[in-house]
Structure 1
Amino acid sequence: MKVLFGLNEEIITILFKSKDCREEDDVPDFVVHEFQQYKKKGEEVEDECPFCGGTMLRTKKSPK
């Protein structure tokens, strides 16, 4: 969990990994749930890699 934006609330994050550059990034769970609304059942949420601009997918391991 991380504290974001100077708030005292802990934010739960989900670890994503780039398919291209293999960098990892923690994405707030509320963002992942927002993206999930627009996916069909069983479809994975994808995000854009902030490092290389490629596709990021959720990893199986826990965030740092």
Structure 2
Amino acid sequence: MGLSSRKNQQENLEDCLKEEDPFGLDEDLEIVIFRCLDCNTTDEVPEYIIGEFSVDLNKGEEVKLHCPKCNSTMIDARENPID
């Protein structure tokens, strides 16, 4: 890599860091409420975490988490509201 190319990369990085929020730290997190099937405990889970868990799922399968209170199964409360 030439000196000119490195200088351009450094200038681009400096321009990026001058932005108000270059790393997106001030962005609002989308939160999804999960509910335990056994004890009805609810837990707020960031949507990006759900996306990471859904990578290995087949089409139509939903993300299931473990309840922090009773270690049972938690499901998305939006799609499975309490009756």
Same fold by TM-score greater than 0.5? yes
Higher RCO (C-alpha under 8 Å, 6+ residues apart): 1
The alignment covers a number of residue pairs equal to 55
What runs of 5+ residues in structure 2 fail to find an aligned partner?
1-24
Gaps of 5+ in 1: 1-6
Normalised TM-score (structure 2)? 0.60
Match of 1:15 in 2: 33
More helix by share: 2
| 2:75 counterpart SS class | strand
TM-score, L = length of structure 1: 0.77
> What is the CA RMSD across the aligned residues, in angstroms?
1.4
Structure showing greater Rg: 2
Say which structure is richer in strand: 1
* Identity within the alignment, %: 36
Q: Which runs of 4+ in 1 moved over 4 A?
A: none
